[in-house]
Structure 1
Amino acid sequence: MQDLHGRKLKSVYDYIVVGSGSAGSVLAARLAESGQYSVLLLEAGKSDNVIYIKMPAALGIPLQDDKYNWFLHSEEEPGLNNRKVLEARGKTLGGSSSINGMNWVRGNPWDYDNWAALGNSGWSYKEVLPYFKRSETFDKGENQYRGGAGPMKIETCKAKGALYDAFIKSAMEAGYQYIEDANAYKQEGVHITQRNVHKGLRWSTSRGYIHAAGPKENLHVVTEAYAQKIKFVNKRADKLVVSIAGVEQEFHINKEIISCAGALHTPHLLLHSGIGDQADLKKVGVNVVHHLPGVGRGLKDHVAAPVQYSSIPGSSSAGKLSALGRLKIGIQWIFAKKGLGATNFFEVGAFCRTSEEVKVPDVQFEFVPFLGDFQHGKLKLSDGFQYFFSLMRPKSEGRVWIESNDPKVPPKFVFNYLTHEEDVKVAVAAVKEIRRVIAHDAWKPVRQNEVLPGAHIQTDEQIVAFLRDNAGTNYHPCCTCRMGSDEMAVTDHEAKVHGLDNVRIVDASIMPEIVSGNLNAPIIMMAEKVSDLILGKRPLAAADADYYKL
């Protein structure tokens, strides 16, 4: 067996990292940097050397097939009229950072102070901010909030066009404050977004931490390598069983195994390894290694739904995205890495509070300058614009489980979207708030008719019915192996699995609570921080930067 660079694999590694996504590529690179330890990075998918992964504007393509996407579906969602929801997860180097929307959002600083308040020492905002900074190179330069020399290249979107202008101006007319940098002092308000795109290329974690750094002698990266089961001697992880291009192989673990497989696949790996609720494991014929009932529990996601309007002909980007238009865009991007091919289209956004009683923004608006459906694996385009709102801190939660002892069988999961009355209330308020903003004068020159929910949908009951038919995921699953010290916590504040000697988890599954924004940047921060913990380094000094509080 060989790695990505044709080097023969060893039978023993100091550190084995499962999953090369937003956390895995970061951890593997940082652990290998010193040259002291051998590191094996395993990715179940193929290489990311693919044009529609590299090209930002092609982000919709991986959502439509299962070649570079696990293409998982939830079980029937009781709050969504028993619909099954597509949950796209990256199945390639870079994981979901190779197929996501590239929005660079840290979450609200309050989120991390809340993590610390829940008993997770070391995770307050001032303690994690240095790791956010270490991870990035921000195009507007380093300051007390932003990094200037990190592997992730972050650019501020250009946001040029009538629809982007109308989005910003209408929000300000509606009373929103314009925020220069929503990843700094204040999140609430309207802003031009930031994205992990550099010189026209998607800047995933695999690109920033693996490819850009070049080969390391002590780091072996293996694709088409599906981790099936961890074997234990007592409570110590001894071997990892991996299927590489269909051939089963075992690797010995000298120091630690670190699962970075994500909020759905990390519990899947643990459960098949005998780590989970013992009653559930016995039902499916898995030998119990360690009773840990929280594995797979507490699944959360940012439930989301679209509000769409048609616009005057030629006002949106839809006309440029015809078959001929896409060909021209592709040619320009291939030869110059410029033009529409270099955008992710999500160039403006906002965070708002739906009630004066809420102290931290509870809804995010993302925006695209055409009508299209990215949500269910489809892409249909026409003139118009779309506000895509997400609930930042949903109360509804689901779980991940297995119904077979065959690790090749995908995990089962359900989110239970909109099953908590508070989530329903906030979602209805979000629809009304978007309509309020769009009614302002800035939209008049280009706005036409409301497409979704539609002008005939007015009462709260009608809006709820619309949401149950149309709401879905913003592809942000988390919290299924959360940090904490209570009986349902799976990991401690250093990401170690409770009751096991040498197993850690570093991905969205260990979030104690979902954060107020997209998950990519927070997961990268977590991997940066935990890499120091693993290597026994002194934590970076806490920042002295403050943040906005009501």
Structure 2
Amino acid sequence: MQGEAYDFVVVGGGSAGCIVAARLAAGARVLLLEAGDAATAHPETQSADGFKDAFSKDALMWHRMSAPQADCGGRSLYVGTGRVMGGSGSVNGMVYTRGDRRDFENWPAGWRWQDIGPAFAAVEARLGVRPRPATPFALAFIDAAVEAGLARKDGLNDGDLGGVVGANDMNYEGDTRRSSYRAFLHRRDLPGLTVRTGAAVRRILFDGSKAAVAVEFAADGAVHQARVGRELVLCAGALETPRLLMLSGVGPVGDLERVGIRPVQDAPGVGRHLQDHPNVCMFYRARAPIDFQYPQVYGFDAARRPADAPKGQAPDTCFVCYAAPASLKQSMARMVPILALPGRLYRLAFLRKLLRGLIDLAFLLPPLRRFVAQVFGIVVILGKPTSRGRITLASSSPDVPAKIDLGYYATPQDRETMRAGIAKARDIAARATLRAAGATPLSAGAKPVSDKALWKWLTAATMTTFHFCGSCRMGDDADSPVDTRLRVKGLRNVRVADASVIPEIPVSALNAPAMMIGWRAADFILQGDAA
């Protein structure tokens, strides 16, 4: 077989993959394959202030659209993720939150809060996470949330997020982003590691015993192979890892045969149980310019908890104070071409450039700049969705995107929780402290409207929070394709180490859990736990 041999091949240089590759390379030959560019080619991925520019840059994000969402007005939603060394950890807002300890009660034995604490701590020691100093407007939001019934809390990583608000930890140091790439790979001497960027993995090759013997990838205009000596570790993320497994014959047999793929292993759970945090942003205008720019203040609550119920219930909703002046222009540069140029038109780079140029010109107008300088949002996030989505193949070709059904709002409980979360956000905005700073409603959802009008706005305004997980969930049940040591069931030497293994989504952002999973995967391998 062609191709150079490595002890370990790691697919995906994202938040988990950088940790896995770095730790294994200390004593083995490791090949890390990343479809995107080197992070050093894009300075915005290295800077703490660069997150807004990274999000709007085509070279740094996968262009993916969901299937039409029945409960979002039939819209297809943008579901891009980071496509660069560091993955989404190189383009996100640097929010670092472990989650609520109750999030992990439905994870398998060995993955409960007390079990995963050491891995979180090890990652945090390398990242150096810390909150950002609260600005006057951020403090006003916190005070208003307290007036609305939340408790102020300094430090949101002790596992108790029920009914609290405060400054969340972030992975930064000065003006530098502290992604897993920066912390574990950047400028580190790892002689056993080979990193290949611009390498899009197309499929896994198996022998008759269901052992992965090589991966096939496209790079530099040609198709290559890399041989797997000991293990293949998939860290491509919750949207790409199941797609790669299915392209390689590992997935629901009926789905594979439908697109002409010969099954290697019947794994009905691959691609199923997809979870995410849908959100809506309620915009307001303050009396003075907004004085912060990061997603540095979070609140968590059980939005549907009756007023007379005891506090401390597990949260199902979170609230983020969003500063429009920091990134509204860049967000529009990302989203407007997607909305205005459907299908093949989006592929025409000159049209995207034209629209983005018009946005840049608009933001040069002093009246618009003055207006946006005073706009803030309260982002309402469905933290514990009960709906589930699914990823399926549309073709046997690696060049054809998968069908991604997010399944948003498919259950009445999710719809009621979002309505309750919006009501809670309105309550926060109406409190005296925030009213004093100015909170004039701009969004339809921020104003009192009928239930029908609210739902119409909500389904039109919903977007992803980019927290995809669960599509290769781990567990002991037959419907979970990955076991609790992160090994793909039925295969001899394939492990999954990314957010796709998460069985139930935490209420918080997923960057921290993804890094924790990467650390534990390396632990299992280094302890001699062969896949």
Q: Shorter-chain TM-score: which interval?
A: 0.7 to 0.9
Counterpart of 2:62 in structure 1 is 70
Counterpart of 1:222 in structure 2 is 196
Counterpart of 2:224 in structure 1 is 249
Change (3 A) 1:185 1:395: closer
Of the three residues 2, 7, 14, the one matched with 2:7 is 14
Secondary structure, counterpart of 2:238 in structure 1: helix
- Higher alpha-carbon deviation: 472-481 or 166-175: 166-175
Counterpart of 1:261 in structure 2 is 236
Of the three residues 289, 295, 313, the one matched with 1:315 is 289
**Alpha-carbon distance between aligned partners in 2 of 1:524 and 1:108, rounded to the nearest angstrom:** 16
Counterpart of 1:346 in structure 2 is 295
Instruction: Report if the CA contact (8 A) 2:9-2:31 is conserved.
Output: yes
How far has the Cα of 1:88 moved from its partner?
2.1
Instruction: Report if the CA contact (8 A) 2:445-2:454 is conserved.
Output: no
Secondary structure, counterpart of 2:324 in structure 1: coil
Counterpart of 1:168 in structure 2 is 142
Instruction: Report if the CA contact (8 A) 1:164-1:369 is conserved.
Output: no
Of the three residues 73, 83, 86, the one matched with 1:91 is 83
How far has the Cα of 1:348 moved from its partner?
1.2
How far has the Cα of 1:449 moved from its partner?
1.8
Instruction: Report if the CA contact (8 A) 2:284-2:443 is conserved.
Output: yes
**Alpha-carbon distance between aligned partners in 2 of 1:198 and 1:99, rounded to the nearest angstrom:** 16
Instruction: Report if the CA contact (8 A) 1:63-1:377 is conserved.
Output: no
Secondary structure, counterpart of 2:441 in structure 1: strand
**Alpha-carbon distance between aligned partners in 1 of 2:217 and 2:205, rounded to the nearest angstrom:** 11
Of the three residues 54, 59, 74, the one matched with 2:51 is 59
Counterpart of 1:131 in structure 2 is 119
Q: Which amino acid aligns with 2:117?
A: L
Q: Which amino acid aligns with 1:105?
A: T
How far has the Cα of 1:377 moved from its partner?
3.0
**Alpha-carbon distance between aligned partners in 2 of 1:187 and 1:165, rounded to the nearest angstrom:** 18
**Alpha-carbon distance between aligned partners in 2 of 1:414 and 1:361, rounded to the nearest angstrom:** 25
Counterpart of 1:27 in structure 2 is 20
Instruction: Report if the CA contact (8 A) 1:18-1:43 is conserved.
Output: yes
Change (3 A) 1:455 1:495: closer
Counterpart of 1:140 in structure 2 is none
How far has the Cα of 1:468 moved from its partner?
0.7
Instruction: Report if the CA contact (8 A) 2:82-2:89 is conserved.
Output: yes
How far has the Cα of 1:190 moved from its partner?
0.8
Secondary structure, counterpart of 1:61 in structure 2: helix
Q: Which amino acid aligns with 1:398?
A: G
**Alpha-carbon distance between aligned partners in 1 of 2:226 and 2:234, rounded to the nearest angstrom:** 15
How far has the Cα of 1:102 moved from its partner?
0.7
Is 1:370–2:324 an aligned residue pair? yes
Secondary structure, counterpart of 2:60 in structure 1: coil
Secondary structure, counterpart of 1:368 in structure 2: strand
Counterpart of 2:353 in structure 1 is none
State how many pairs are aligned.
483
Deviations along 1:173-198, whole A, 9 cap, x unmatched? 22211111110152230111211111
Gaps of 5+ in 1: 1-8, 137-149, 318-339, 539-550
Counterpart of 1:177 in structure 2 is 151
Of the three residues 252, 262, 276, the one matched with 1:277 is 252
Is 1:403–2:378 an aligned residue pair? no
How far has the Cα of 1:524 moved from its partner?
0.5
Counterpart of 2:367 in structure 1 is none
Counterpart of 2:467 in structure 1 is 476
Instruction: Report if the CA contact (8 A) 1:301-1:415 is conserved.
Output: yes
TM alignment of 1:389-400, pairs within 5 A: 389-400=380-391
**Alpha-carbon distance between aligned partners in 1 of 2:174 and 2:97, rounded to the nearest angstrom:** 20
**Alpha-carbon distance between aligned partners in 2 of 1:220 and 1:18, rounded to the nearest angstrom:** 12
Deviations along 1:29-63, whole A, 9 cap, x unmatched? 11112x2x111111000011122222233322233
**Alpha-carbon distance between aligned partners in 2 of 1:24 and 1:427, rounded to the nearest angstrom:** 33
**Alpha-carbon distance between aligned partners in 2 of 1:215 and 1:288, rounded to the nearest angstrom:** 41
The percent identity for this pair of structures is: 31
How far has the Cα of 1:64 moved from its partner?
2.7
**Alpha-carbon distance between aligned partners in 1 of 2:294 and 2:313, rounded to the nearest angstrom:** 30
Deviations along 1:307-337, whole A, 9 cap, x unmatched? 111111x3315xxxxxxxxxxxxxxxxxxxx
Instruction: Report if the CA contact (8 A) 1:179-1:187 is conserved.
Output: no
Q: Which amino acid aligns with 2:102?
A: W
TM alignment of 1:134-213, pairs within 5 A: 134-136=122-124, 150-161=125-136, 163-188=137-162, 189-212=164-187
Deviations along 1:220-274, whole A, 9 cap, x unmatched? 1110011111110121111111112222111111111010000110011001101
TM alignment of 1:422-461, pairs within 5 A: 422-453=413-444, 457-461=448-452
**Alpha-carbon distance between aligned partners in 2 of 1:83 and 1:10, rounded to the nearest angstrom:** 43
Q: Which amino acid aligns with 1:315?
A: P
**Alpha-carbon distance between aligned partners in 1 of 2:301 and 2:281, rounded to the nearest angstrom:** 16
How far has the Cα of 1:367 moved from its partner?
1.2
**Alpha-carbon distance between aligned partners in 1 of 2:412 and 2:376, rounded to the nearest angstrom:** 29
Of the three residues 525, 530, 543, the one matched with 2:521 is 530
Instruction: Report if the CA contact (8 A) 1:56-1:201 is conserved.
Output: yes
How far has the Cα of 1:537 moved from its partner?
6.2
Instruction: Report if the CA contact (8 A) 2:96-2:511 is conserved.
Output: yes
**Alpha-carbon distance between aligned partners in 1 of 2:410 and 2:242, rounded to the nearest angstrom:** 23
Higher helix share: 2
**Alpha-carbon distance between aligned partners in 1 of 2:49 and 2:226, rounded to the nearest angstrom:** 39
Secondary structure, counterpart of 2:52 in structure 1: coil
**Alpha-carbon distance between aligned partners in 2 of 1:518 and 1:127, rounded to the nearest angstrom:** 19
Counterpart of 1:361 in structure 2 is 315
Instruction: Report if the CA contact (8 A) 2:49-2:175 is conserved.
Output: no
Instruction: Report if the CA contact (8 A) 1:315-1:446 is conserved.
Output: no
**Alpha-carbon distance between aligned partners in 2 of 1:155 and 1:200, rounded to the nearest angstrom:** 13
Change (3 A) 1:487 1:23: same
- Higher alpha-carbon deviation: 54-63 or 473-482: 54-63
**Alpha-carbon distance between aligned partners in 2 of 1:223 and 1:492, rounded to the nearest angstrom:** 29
